[in-house]
Chain A
Amino acid sequence: MMRLIDRICDLLAILAGIYLVGIMFGIVISALARTLNLSGSWSSHIFTFTEFGLLYIVMAASPWLVRHRGHVFIELLSAALPRRMQRSYSRAISALCVVICLTLVWYTWGATARAWRFGDAEMRSLDMPKYLLLGAMPIGFGLMAAQFLRFVFGPVTMHTGEAGVHE
């Protein structure tokens, strides 16, 4: 099960990376098109989707980043505790992260459903249904919760507890 989730997270991270490179080309192309007076609706849509891409990238790559401990945190209490308590403390904090993520899943899902019900749209160069943007959140936070579970039950803990204020 965890293997499957990991593969999903990897795949999402790869897609996020591709989107990132796509943004680079998109910006260059639309700027050149504007300079050459070739731009129109299509280049405005490129602009819009480079903006939306930032949200999709952060939601798609965050679970992968949890696994690689890439989200910055401050080791204060975890390092101050006696060594034998550190591992259980770190597991407890990881469990707290699971709770935070699951709460976010619940309420961002609610926000997605409400946006869908009212037909909310993000009005940029085109009317983007808002549920397509909000919907990335419950998925992203849900997979993040799954990845934090690894630090609750798995062999490796999130905090190292090594240096004073660490990581």
Chain B
Amino acid sequence: MEWYEALVFLLGMILFFMALGVPVALAFLAANMIGAAYFMGGRGDIASQMARGIGQLANNAIPTVTSFNLMPVPMFLLMGEIFFFTGLANRMFGAVDRLMGKLPARLSFVTVAGGTAFATLSGSSMGSTALLGSLMVPEMQKRGYKKHMAIGPILGTGGLAMLIPPSALAVLLATLAELDIGDLLIAGIMPGLMLAIFYAVMILGMALYDPSAAPAYEVESSDWVEKLRLLFVDILPMVSIVIGVILVIMFGIATPSESAAFGCLGVIVLAALYRSLTWEGIVKSVAGALKVTTMALLIIFGSATFSALLAFSGASSGLIRWATGFDLEPITMLLIMFGILLVLGMFMDQLSMMLLTVPIFFPLAQTLGFDLIWFGVIVLLALEISFTTPPFGLLLFVMKGVSAPGTSMRDIYVSALPFIGCSMLLVALLIIFPGIALWLPGLGQ
């Protein structure tokens, strides 16, 4: 099979099963079984090919699913659910409401600010989305925010986690591409903060354009004594958990992946101090976290082998070599590489994408005369966007899992689009003004 036939065959199967209405995880597994029997079946008759290929699928799932790198997902989910079901979240956002007064769409801004703060401590986009999603979405829907005002900012800021250090993915990219790790991490800071500002500006725009999207409900005004009380009793203790988690990382007590468990425990202790820790609340929190964890991990189970099949069959490397084989202007080549990352990103996980594209893209970028750190930031942005591109973006499914019933996949796809637009705008700005990425690392030299 030629690479383009393999590509059409594999992508066609997954889209077919998903369109039928088979659960996403099973759609992947069904496509994988057929693909694995065909490509990984080795020699022999069809029965032995099925046994070999599908057996390989089962074996492939073990290292993918049992990886500590995934730990932030269940832990941050649990943390967010406990925050919510113990009523601590309600308390905190009630206080935020009263402190921020009449600012429209204030909880969306809180999401961006919280998401950005969170990105600085978490290296995991999925973990960050899981926490913010399970924490903010129920509160915002309760207060009458339209779905896209809640979902969009969370999806957007989830991606910040891999741009702003610490970022496991940035370290990995720098290692694979033989870049200076410190430089790439630092280069991500300014673009990450700019992206957060873009998000804020866009939310303001959306709130002004459609005021009903973020209802301007009345809040009791309060005097400064009351405001101080709110700040110290209802907000600072909650914020201290986040600060505590950052400190646990800073002082080398825990790695970023481990820190989520500390946050979880911190919330439980805090809830106990506020006397709002109930057995019912704990059971509901664990059940909620379990649901989304299981859903997301089963999709990862299926998609890992799908990525492997795209690689093993030669479909993805064929696409990459074909598209980068043209002799065009540097800027066109850059856009082609960016486009390939977006296309692969619809169906592949980030790690597999890096392993496939880095050995081809970075030498090519060097011959084209690009600054490799700058190029690395653009690749990170493409990877970040790919987390939220339909049909297969893991953050979208995590979001679906934490949203209220009645939130459709289309709601989530539509909510993600403006924020993908912000990332695209940033890429354009990076191309015009490379200093956005290169100024900070340049200072250190």
Residues of A within 8 A of B (CB): 13, 16-17, 20-21, 23-25, 27-28, 31-32, 35, 47, 50-55, 57-58, 61-62, 65, 68, 70-78, 90, 93, 96-97, 100-101, 103-104, 107-108, 110-112, 114-115, 122, 130, 133-134, 137, 158-159, 163-167
Contacts and interface: CB of A to CB of B under 8 A. Distances in A.
A164 B410 contact: yes
B261 interface: yes
B290 A61 contact: yes
B264 A24 contact: yes
Given A73-B21, A97-B22, A35 B33 contact: no
A28 B261 contact: yes
B398 to A, nearest CB: 10
Contacts, number: 190
Give the 3 A-B CB pairs with smallest separation, nearest first.
A27-B261, A107-B54, A71-B23
A92 to B, nearest CB: 9
Given A58-B301, A61-B290, A134-B58, A93 B409 contact: no
Interface string B375-401: 000000000000000010000010011
Interface residues of B, number: 61
Contact of A54 (B21, B252, B297, B299): B297
A134 B19 contact: no
Given A54-B297, A107-B55, A110-B55, A71 B25 contact: yes
B71 A70 contact: no
B65 A17 contact: no
A134 to B, nearest CB: 6
A135 B393 CA distance: 29
B356 to A, nearest CB: 25
B254 A31 contact: yes
B21 A51 contact: no
Given A58-B294, A107-B54, A134-B59, A72 B261 contact: no
A77 B291 contact: no
A110 B293 CA distance: 27
A100 B30 contact: yes
Contacts of A108: 54-55, 58
A78 B170 CA distance: 41
B397 A57 contact: no
Interface string B31-49: 0010000000000000000
Given A17-B286, A57-B293, A72-B295, 6 more contacts: A23-B261, A57-B290, A61-B294, A71-B298, A137-B61, A165-B409
